[in-house]
Amino acid sequence: MTQHFPALLIIIPLLSALIVSAMGWIDRRWCFPLAVASLAGALAVSVGLCAQVMAAGPIVYKMAGWRPPIGIVYVIDYLNAPVLVVILSVALLNLISAKTWIEKDFSDKLSAYLALYLLFLAGMVGIVATGDAFNLYVLLEIGSLTGYALIGLGKERAPLSSLNYLFMGTIGASFYLLGIGYIYIATGTLNMADIARLMPTLAGSGTLFLALIICMAGLFVKMALFPLHGWLPNAYSNAPSASAGLIAPLTTKVMIYAMVRVGLTVFTPEFTFSRALLSEAIVWLAVAAIVTGSLLALMQRRLSRMLTYIIVAEVGYMVGGFWLGNTSGVTGATLHIINDAAMTLTLFMAVSAIVWKLGSDRFEDLQGLFGKMPFTMTGFVLAALAVIGIPPTCGFFSKWYLITGGINAGQWGFVAALLFSSLVNAVLFFRIFEIAFFEPFAEGHGHHDHGPVMSEAPVTMVVPLLLAALSLIALGLFTGDIVTKLIQLAIPAGIA
C-alpha cells in the first residue's frame, strides 16, 4: 500500500469531494465528518511520505505504470515532502476551526462548499507533488477555479473580488501555459526531469530564456508579487472566514513553491541564475514588494485587510530570497514557505474567532480584547511575534537565512527592506496590542476593578488556533532538522 502513497495524496481529496457532494443528497450530517476524515487520512499519507523520503531518499511514482516522458509522474523529494505536510495540516486545522462558520454561512449548501474545499486541496497538493510541467498547469487551474468559487460564495463584495481574482488568475495561468509551450518546442518533452537533463545542451537557447521569463511572469501574477498584487487584498479580506483561512495561507505559498520548483528542477540553477540582470531586477522588484506591502499595511484600519498587505510583503521576502541565487537565500525562501503558511493560518484563524464574537475586525472594535478573549489573543500574539521575527518562533529563523543570503550576495537593499519590514510589523502588531489591552484609556490602563467579562470563541475555534500557534514555536525549535535533513538536501550543488 505504501508504494501508492503519492497517488493517494490526490485520490483521497478527489474521491472525498465526490462522496461528500453525493452525501449532501442523502444525509448532510455526514458531510463534515467525512471531509475531516479525508483530510486526516491525506495528512497521515503525507507524513508517511515525508518519513520515507528522509529515510530512503526521493520517491518517483509513475501514474498507471506509464513511464516518463509519455506518462505523468509524481515526485516526492526533499523539497516538497515538508510542504505537503504543511498544506494538509493547514487545511485540516482550518476546516475544524471553521466548522461553526461553515454551518452558519453555508447551511443550505454545506456539501457543495466542502466539495469545493476538498477539490481546492487536491489542486494544491497536485501542484506540489507533480513531476510534469503541463500537469502542474492542469492542477493549477483546478486549485484556482475552486479558489474563485470559495471566495465568490461570500457576501457583499466577495463575488466582485472573486471576479477580479479570476481575471488576474486567468492571465497568470495563460502566461505559464505559454511558457510551457515554448519549453515543449525547445525540448520535445514536458517531464521536469527530462527537461532538466536536456538543459546543459540548450544553455544558449533564446527560446528557453523566453520561456523562463514568461513562466515566471505567470507565477508572479498568481502569487501577487507587487505590482501585480491588486487582486489579493480584496479577495482575501472579503472572502468568507472559512475560505480566507484556507486560501490566504496556501495560495501564494504554493505559487512560490512552483517558482522554486520550476527554477531549480525544470530550468536548473545554472540556467535560471545565469542572467545576472534578470536576477537583479527581480530582487529589486521584491524589495519594492516588501516596502510597499509594509507601508500599505500601516494605512489599514481593519485587521484582516492589514494582514493581506503583510502577505504582499511576505511574498517579496520569498521571491527576493530565491532570486539571490545562493544557498542561504534559497534555503530562507523555502523555509519561509513553510513558516509563513503556519503564521498566516494562525493569524487568520484568530481574526475569524474575533469576528465571530465581535462581528467586526475594525481596530476601534478591538478594545479590551485581551480581557474578553485571552486564549484567542494568546494565539494572535504568538503569530504576531513570529511575523515580526522574534526568537524562538519560526519567523526569526527564515528571516535569518534571508538576511544572510542578502549579505552574501551583496544585496544591501534587500537586507534593508527585510529589516524595515520587521520594524513596521512591530509597529503594526504592537498598535493592535495597545488597543486590545489598554483601550479604552482610563486610570490603571486596563487594570480596572471591573474588567471586561471573558467571552471566548467556541472551543472548536480556540483549540485549533492554539495548536497552530504552538506549531510556530515547534517549527522554530526544529528549524535545524528541517533545514539539514530536508531543505539543504533539495538544493542542487550548482548553487553557491
Residue 22 falls inside a structural domain = no
DSSP class per residue in 460-474: HHHHHHHHHHHHHHH
User: Helix, strand or coil for residue 59?
Assistant: strand
Distances 59 to 74, 258, 486 between C-alpha atoms, Å: 8, 18, 14
Q: Per the domain annotation, does 354 fall within a domain?
A: yes
Task: Give the residue carrying C-alpha cell 496556501.
Answer: 250
In a domain, 148, yes or no: no
Backbone φ and ψ of 96, nearest 5°: -65, -45
pLDDT for 115: 92
Average pLDDT over residues 435-462: 69
Q: Is 226 a domain residue?
A: no
| CA 215-245-317 angle, 5° bins | 45
Within a 10 A sphere around the Cβ of 6, how many other Cβ atoms?
26
Global pTM reads: 0.93
CA distance 102 to 277: 48
Model pLDDT, residue 357: 86
Q: Between 413 and 61, where is the model more confident?
A: 413
- How many domains does the chain divide into? 1
Q: What is the pLDDT of residues 220-229, one digit of tens each?
A: 999 999 998 8
Q: Residue 399 and residue 438: Cα distance in Å, rounded?
A: 30
Grid cell of 224 as nine digits? 501577487
Answer yes or no: is pLDDT of 365 > 90.
no
Mean pLDDT of 79-85: 94
| Average pLDDT of the residues in 232-261 | 92
CA-closest candidate to residue 17, choices 88, 94, 117, 162: 117
Residue-level pLDDT at 464: 93
Render pLDDT for 93-137 as a digit per residue (tens, 0 to 9): 999 999 998 888 887 888 899 999 999 999 999 999 998 889 999
Cell numbers that stand for 251 in this block: 495560495
Q: What is the DSSP letter of 74?
A: E
Residue 260 domain-assigned (yes or no): no
The dihedral built from the CA positions of residue 336, 337, 342 and 346, taken in this order, carries a sign that is: positive
DSSP 188-205: S--BHHHHHHHGGGGTT-
Task: Count the neighbouring beta carbons within 10 Å of the beta carbon of residue 299.
Answer: 9
Beta strands in 125-256 (DSSP E): none
The answer to the question of residue 355 being in a domain is yes
Rounded to a whole number of angstroms, the CA Rg of the chain reads 22
pLDDT at 388: 94
Cell of 219: 507565477
Report the chain's mean pLDDT, rounded to a whole number: 89
Lowest mean pLDDT among 98-107, 142-151, 209-218, 318-327: 98-107
**Cβ–Cβ < 8 Å for 31, 110:** yes
What gap in Å lies between CA 123 and CA 115, rounded to an integer?
12
pLDDT tens per residue, range 468-488: 999 999 999 999 999 999 999
- Decide: residue 424, CB within 10 A, 0-12 exposed, 13-18 middle, 19+ buried: buried
Name the β-bridge partners of 130.
74
CA pair distance 103, 109, nearest whole angstrom: 9
CA angle 59, 61, 64 (to 5 degrees): 170
CA distances from residue 236 to 229, 239, 431, 491 in whole angstroms, order as listed: 12, 5, 22, 32
> 268: pLDDT confidence band, cut at 50, 70 and 90?
confident
At 1, the pLDDT band (50, 70, 90 cuts) reads low
Task: Please name which of 306, 287, 399 lies closest in space to residue 344, comparing C-alpha atoms.
Answer: 306
Question: Looking at the domain assignment, is residue 12 inside a domain?
Answer: no
Contact between 312 and 224 (Cβ < 8 Å): yes
- Residue 442 confidence (pLDDT): 56
Instruction: Give how far Cα 90 sits from Cα of 19, 279, 347, 379, 397, Å.
Output: 22, 32, 12, 15, 20
Q: How confident is the model at residue 76 (pLDDT cuts 50, 70, 90)?
A: very high
In DSSP notation, 1-33 reads -GGGHHHHHHHHHHHHHHHHHHHTTT-GGGHHH
Region 445-450 average pLDDT: 51
Say whether 259 sits in a helix, a strand or coil. helix
Q: Give the H/E segment covering residue 60.
A: strand 59-62
Q: Is there a domain that residue 39 lies in?
A: no
Name the CA dihedral angle for 168, 169, 170, 175, rounded to a multiple of 10 degrees. 90
pLDDT of res. 439: 67
Task: Please state the separation of Cα 325 from the chain's center in Å.
Answer: 21
Residue 302 — φ and ψ, nearest 5°?
Answer: -120, 135
CA distance 10 to 130: 10
For residues 276-296, average pLDDT? 93
Residues of the domain holding 407: 276-440+454-495
